[in-house]
Structure formats: C-alpha cells, structure tokens
Amino acid sequence: MTLDEYNAFCHALPATTYVVQWHHSHVWKIGGKVFAIGSLNREGQPAFTFKTSVLNFDFLSEHSGYRPAPYFASRGMKWIQHDHSTAETDEALRYYLTESYRIVSLGLSQRMQRALGLNQSPSS
C-alpha cells in the first residue's frame, strides 16, 4: 500500500479527519483521537502504525513486517507498525486499519459517538 492508497482508504471511513504532524506523518483521527499514522521508514518505504486489540498485538508482534510501534508500545500502548507492505499484505492492513478505527471510535464518549453518528443502534 502506498501512502496515497492509505490516505484514500482512511479518508473513506466515516467522520475521519486528517492532519500532517510529527515529522511529516499522515495522521488520521476519529473524534480527535488518532487511529492511524502513515509515514516513510528509514529506507523511504511506507510504514503504517495502528492501534490493535491485545490479541492482535501479541499475534502481529511475532510476524515478519510487523513490530510494536516505536514510542507507543514502549509506553504500554497496543500499537503496531507495519513497514513491509506488499500486495499480499494490503488486505490484512486494510482490516487492521479498520479495526483500529473501530477500537478508537468505541473509546470516544457516547456523546461524541452520537455527534459523529458512530456505533449507534438502529432505531426501531
């Protein structure tokens, strides 16, 4: 996945906002909270950082191309960085970005979720 593809994917998720910060990183937020960060690694290749569940954090930490995210994981947060994106891993990356979005959106206050139209039960 390229940074342009990453940005297009994150932009398509409901109620997201985008900002460039932290040394030219492409940061995507929901309700003001970060759910994904895209940047270039030292080799100039795209690297994507996202929040995970505890189970996915443990699983991905053991797989090639994934690692506990610098800064975040060292502070006990369950964030993973993926820096070897290939056509074969793009589908999984889209899944993990969507999961990060979901996890972060569920952590927002009920009021914020309602305001953004997220995680609401359909009315009868």
- pTM for the structure as a whole: 0.90
Q: Which of 47, 17, 9, 32 is nearest to 107 (CA)?
A: 32
Summary mean pLDDT of the chain: 91
Instruction: Give residue 29's pLDDT band: very low, low, confident or very high (50, 70, 90).
Output: very high
Kindly tell me if the per-residue pLDDT of 50 is higher than 70: yes
Across the beta sheet with 79-82, the strand order is: 16-21, 25-30, 33-40, 46-51, 79-82, 66-68
Which residue shows structure tokens 């990183």? 25
How high is the pLDDT of residue 93?
A: 95
One-letter amino acid for residue 42 of the chain? R
Structural domains in the chain plus CATH codes: 3-115 (3.90.1150.30)
How high is the pLDDT of residue 123?
A: 61
How high is the pLDDT of residue 120?
A: 77
Mean pLDDT of 13-21: 96
Kindly tell me if the per-residue pLDDT of 124 is higher than 60: no
- Residue 83's CB is within 10 A of a number of other CB atoms, namely 17
